[in-house]
Amino acid sequence: MEEEEFVTLVRWSYEENRDIQCKKFEGIELSKEVLEMVEFENCEFHHCKIMDCNMEKLKFSECQFYNCDFSNTCFERAIFVKCKWDNCKCIGGNFVESRWYEVVVQNSLFQYANFSNAFLEKTTFLETILKNASFQEAILKVLQYENCNLTEAQFFKTNLKGIDFRTSNIEGILVSLENLKGAVVSAYQAVNLASLMGIVVKELGQD
C-alpha cells in the first residue's frame, strides 16, 4: 500500500465511521500528516516511518508494530489495547492522556517520550530505552519495567507503589518521596535514591 492510499483509507474510515481491520502496512513513510479518531483492529505495521504526525485519539486494538519509527508523533489521548511494539523508535513521542492495556514494548527507543496523565495497566516495557521520559501524574497499574534505561525519567505525582525497578537503570530519576513509597528497588538503587532524602552515604574512613 502506498502512502497516498494509506492516508485515503484513514480519512475514509473517519468519514464513514468504519474501523480499519486486518490490514498489513509496510514501508509507509509520512510526515506532518493529521490522522485522527480512527480505530485500527488486528493490524500490523512493518518498517513504517510516520514521523511528526498527529495521530491524536486513534485506537489500536490487537495491533503490532515492528521496526517502525514514530518519532515526534502525537498520540495524545490515543488508546492501545493488547498491542505489541518491537524494535521501534518513538523518540519524543507524545502519549499525554493516552490509555494502555495489556501492551508489550520491547527492544525499543522511547527517549523523551511523554506519558504525562496517561493510564497504563498490565503493560510491560522490556529492554527499552526510556531516558528522560516523562510519567508525570500518570496512573501505573501492574506495570513492569524489565532491563530498561530510565535514566533521568520523571515520575512526579505518580504513585510507584509495587513498581519493580530492580533490573532497570533509574539513575537520576525525578520523583517525590511520597510517591516513591512502596517501589521495589535493589540495595544499590536505594543508596542512590538516598540523595532524595538529603542523606549523604559514605563508607567508614571517608571524609
Query: Over the stretch 8-32, which tens digit does the pLDDT of each residue have?
Result: 999 999 999 999 999 999 999 999 9
| 122-134 tens-digit pLDDT | 999 999 999 999 9
Q: Give the pTM.
A: 0.92
- The string of pLDDT tens digits covering residues 145-158 is 999 999 999 999 99
Distance, CA of 177 to CA of 194 (rounded, Å): 10
Higher pLDDT, 27 or 178: 27
Model pLDDT, residue 47: 98
Average pLDDT, integer, range 51-76: 97
pLDDT of 77-104, one tens digit each? Answer: 999 999 999 999 999 999 999 999 999 9
What's the pLDDT at 207? 59
Grid cell at residue 167: 533490573
Q: What is the pLDDT of residue 205?
A: 63
* Grid coordinates belonging to 46: 512493518
Select from 180, 123, 133 the least CA-distant residue to 153: 133
- At 200 the pLDDT is 53
Torsions phi, psi for 198 (to 5 deg): 80, 15
CB neighbours of residue 133 within 10 Å: 28
Q: How many CA atoms lie within 13 A of 169 on its CB side?
A: 13
Q: Which of 127, 201, 198, 133 lies closest to 168 in space, CA to CA?
A: 127
Is the pLDDT higher at 31 or at 207? 31
